[in-house]
Amino acid sequence: MKKRRLGDSDLLVSEIGLGCMSLGTVENQASEIIQAALDEGINYFDTADLYDFGMNEEIVGKNLKSVRDKVYIATKVGNRWNENKDSWSWDPSGAHIKTAVKDSLKRLGTDYIDLYQLHGGTISDNIEETVEAFEDLKKEGYIRYYGISSIRPNVIKEFTEKSELDSVMMQFNLLDRRPEEWLSLFANKQISMIARGPLAKGLLSEKMLEKANEDGYLDYSYHELKDLLPQIKDKLSDRKLNETALQYVLSHQSVATVVPGASSVQQLRDNCQAANSPSLSTTELDILKRLTKVNKYESHRN
């Protein structure tokens, strides 16, 4: 598995990481997927304190304990479950971040987190306080680097101007090309994108329209998808659709790693095989860019 540098850090992460949210809570099944990821050369594992009330962190930490010095663990902070655990609230305060990191460390069974990410954000947050908390945790050795997981342009802009973050996690795929407007800024600032949702909820897999619904996907209506997806498959007929999708995202150098979820070992292996396939040619990239939309974030979205 090829590796890329994450931001300005010394982390060399595998081009395919494992998005752990879809692992589930059946521990032996989750363990099989994590072991398969390790066998495939994946060294980046992305979880969050929100997933399964923290159980996801526990499973990830337990299964990576024996290889802790060979892998990178990323988790997220900012959402707090209520006492009944039927809803959560947003809390990016420094006090919460400094308490939550210790809870995550305990669940993960480790004494440091490689990448700590703010799990959301709004323009009304006290960003300076959040950044100060992350910087303090770096100095204290609890975390090595930090980033944010956000698709809000104004939030991303504030963090790129007011912090030394190394990564921004964003949904990015052939049907959602909005992150492309950030690539030049990220390159200039030595910030990496961590790309989630590369297969567009399964639309960019061999199942295609089996995963579609009447609402379509973002700017695409169902009828547009019905026309577009077979065209993509036909125009790049030598490739499987998930291969085309993953290679498109990886064609952007500001992307450090792509983190599709995997609910089975076979799904994970298919994604790794696709990522290890030859890069898209200039001709293939041109075809894909002509077929798909250059969608944009709403300028007023905070």
Report, in this order, helix, strand and coil percent for the chain, each rounded to 5.
45, 20, 35
Active site residue 145: no
Query: 51, 72, 142, 248: which one is catalytic?
Result: 51
Strand-pair category, 167-171 with 192-196:
parallel
Q: Exposed, middle or buried: residue 135 (CB in 10 Å: 0-12, 13-18, 19+)?
A: middle
Helical residues (DSSP H) of 112-264, grouped into ranges = 127-140, 153-162, 183-189, 222-235, 241-250
> What distance in Å separates the CA atoms of residue 153 and residue 118, rounded to the nearest whole number?
15
Strand-pair category, 79-81 with 143-149:
unpaired
Q: How many residues does the chain have?
A: 302
Closest CA to 85 of 59, 120, 54, 64: 54
41-64: b (≥16 Cβ within 10 Å) or e = ebbbbbbbbbbbebebbbbbbbbb
Two tokens at 117? 């990410």
β-strand partners of 89: 80
CA 57 from centroid of its chain's CA atoms: 16
Cβ neighbors of 239 (< 8 A, separation 6 or more) are 247, 277
> What distance in Å separates the CA atoms of residue 258 and residue 222, rounded to the nearest whole number?
26
CB count within 10 Å of CB 120 equals 19
Residues taking part in catalysis: 51
